[in-house]
Structure 1
Amino acid sequence: MYVCMCHAISDRQIREVVERGAVSLSEVQAHLPVADCCGCCAQTAQDIIDTHRNTIRQAIAA
């Protein structure tokens, strides 16, 4: 699913950056131009980051 329509950034791309170690929107933005134009996708991007970080934590704990 596209999260950032301005730059055609998908949820998968955001999750990949989180898997490489990004833990915040600003860290994801260092790798992808998400939420740096109109900003409408910032909350959705943050939700994806938080959800995926929790998924990774749960997988490690199991």
Structure 2
Amino acid sequence: MYVCLCVGVTDRDIESAVSDGARSWRAVREATGCAGQCGKCACTGKQVMREAISREFEMEPDLAYAV
């Protein structure tokens, strides 16, 4: 789904930025260019980022305990 029409950023672009290590909206904006022009996509972009970060934390194993 397109999140930012001005720059052509998709939800997958945001998810990719998160999987590459972006953990803040600023980092996602710098990596994708999302919300750099009109800014109307910021709310949707932040929500996509939060969901992607949540999925990343669900996938990371708990390193405090050996498996």
Does the alignment reach a TM-score above 0.5?
A: yes
TM-score between both structures, scaled by the size of structure 2:
0.85
Q: Which residue of 2 aligns with 1:60?
A: 60
Which consecutive unaligned segments of at least 5 residues does structure 2 have? 63-67
Cα distance in 2 for residues equivalent to 1:49 and 1:57 = 12
Identical pairs, percent: 31
TM-score normalized by the length of structure 1: 0.92
Query: Partner of 1:9 in structure 2?
Result: 9
The CA RMSD over aligned residues, in Å, is: 1.2
Structure number, greater radius of gyration: 2
TM superposition outliers: structure 1 runs of 4+ over 6 Å: none
Distance 1:32 1:54 in 2: 19
Q: Does 1:46 align with 2:33?
A: no
